[in-house]
Amino acid sequence: MKAVILAGGFGKRLRPITNNIPKPLIEVKGKPIIVRQIEWLKIYNIDEIVVCVGYLKEKIIEYLGSGRKLGVKIIYSVEDEPLGTGGALKNAEPVLNKENMFLVVNGDIITNLNPLKMLRYLDTRAIGVIAVHALPSPYGVLEIDKNNFITEFKEKPYLYDYWINAGVYLFDHRIFKFLPEKGDIERTTFVELAKAKRLRAVKYSNVFWKSIDTHKDIEEVEKIL
């Protein structure tokens, strides 16, 4: 099974770092995000990777090369203009059209979740499966009893009544019929598939997951690592 890493974004919220470095090459604890992703995929014997590149693409291609130094085979799908996450995946169809199914990973997440857990949820009804993670509260939470006494302080707990898109997807080949030529998959394809009940979610608990969107995210992940 091949994996696709969506690595073409601008990383605007991480400027000025991303003025000269594409987001996937930002180092977290001495290692680029995309290298951590490749090492994670290798744990699950996924060693054929399609990297969708756009912004500062030449730097990613130069750094990763063929993938041999990381023990994988890398194929590049190049955007000549910004296409969004859906358009970027559609653009990669020529190198994926022989795959019955494939994994897709946003190029800004670091996780240790097991992506193979999603395999059993893909069937004739479900075209795609999304890994979801409990929403981490950005604030500490108080437990308050019926008499308004505070009974407990919980420091930034996970809110298991709410689940967020973890940026890891499993698709079968039918997905290409639903992808836009340009646009984000979250705002186009996922909305359409959800309405038709063709999209499943797999809940992940007790795993490490973090999206690198801001400078603060880098600091937090480095402390944990």
Select from 43, 33, 102, 109 the least CA-distant residue to 71: 43
156 is catalytic: yes
**Would you call the peptide bond into 16 cis, given omega within 30 degrees of 0 as the criterion?**
yes
Measured over all CA atoms, what is the biggest interatomic distance in the chain, rounded to whole angstroms?
64
The one catalytic residue among 156, 197, 203, 216: 156
| SS (HEC) of the chain | CEEEEEECCCCHHHCCHHHCCCHHHCEECCEEHHHHHHHHHHHCCCCEEEEEECCCHHHHHHHHCCCHHHCCEEEEEECCCCCHHHHHHHHCHHHCCCCCEEEEEECCEEECCCHHHHHHHCCCCCCEEEEEEEEECCCCEEEECCCCCEEEEECCCEEEEEEEEEEEEEEEHHHHHHCCCCCCCCCCHHHHHHHCCCEEEEEECCCCEEECCCHHHHHHHHHHC
Q: Which residues are catalytic?
A: 156
